[in-house]
Amino acid sequence: MLNIVIFGAPGSGKGTQSEKIVEKYGINHISTGDVLRAEIKNGTELGKTAKGYIDQGQLIPDSLMVDILAAKFDSFENSKGVIFDGFPRTIPQAEALKQMLKERGQEVSVMLDLEVPEDELMDRLIKRGQMSGRADDNEETIKKRLVVYHSQTSPLIDWYKQDGKYQHINGLGELDRIFADICAAIDKVK
Ligand code: AMP
């Protein structure tokens, strides 16, 4: 299986590039943000819990996220691989992902770090909020999400470097150039 972690700050293009990767490589997509938004829409207990955190720009507790992720992963049949979009976001989540894959005879093939400068992230997220109406894409919550990214999520860069899975991708510029760089990184580990 081809198991890809697509990584980056909010607004770095993880969702957009994931769609292109899914189309080209025929793998399954897990966006933990999308899973949570669907739960909120359906008014489930999980959705109610998640909404409180999401609206504050905070992360959902690791124990909850790890269970959600494993259930989604196990729902795929005859999968050629999975792209993990928005997970892991903390070191305990990365450790749990490694363990979960190991128990299934799998491992992360590559971690792609989409790097985009902070002012550009802010611009993109404000524009996205105007188009999509995503409740957490407003200036105040975006700022909180970026703080959370720097404090809790960015330490994963060194974690994946140490794990030998890290690939840097310049996430600024033409969509197709970024995608070409991503494909080159994936094809090296395929
Ligand atoms: P995203 O769509 O990936 O930007 O996620 C939107 C929000 O969902 C985040 O700001 C978090 O509140 C929550 N979320 C998504 N994925 C995770 C995760 N792996 N761990 C904790 N919270 C998450």
Ligand 1: atom nearest CA of 32 is 16
Ligand 1 cavity residues, CB under 6 Å: 10, 32-33, 36, 53-54, 57-60, 65, 86-87, 89, 93, 136, 145
Per-residue confidence (pLDDT) for residue 152, from 0 to 100? 98
Residue 113: what pLDDT?
Answer: 98
A 10 A CB-CB count for 31 gives: 20
Q: Where are the domains of the chain?
A: 2-189
Atom of ligand 1 nearest to the CA of 89: 19
**Is 89 tagged catalytic?**
yes
Q: What is the pLDDT of residue 146?
A: 97
- For 71-101, write each residue's pLDDT tens digit: 999 999 999 999 999 999 999 999 999 999 9
Q: What is the pLDDT of residues 175-190, one digit of tens each?
A: 999 999 999 999 999 8
Query: What superfamily does domain 2-189 belong to in CATH?
Result: P-loop containing nucleotide triphosphate hydrolases (3.40.50.300)
Low-confidence ranges of the chain (pLDDT < 70): none
How many whole angstroms from 2 Cα to the centroid of ligand 1?
23
User: Is 128 annotated as catalytic?
Assistant: yes
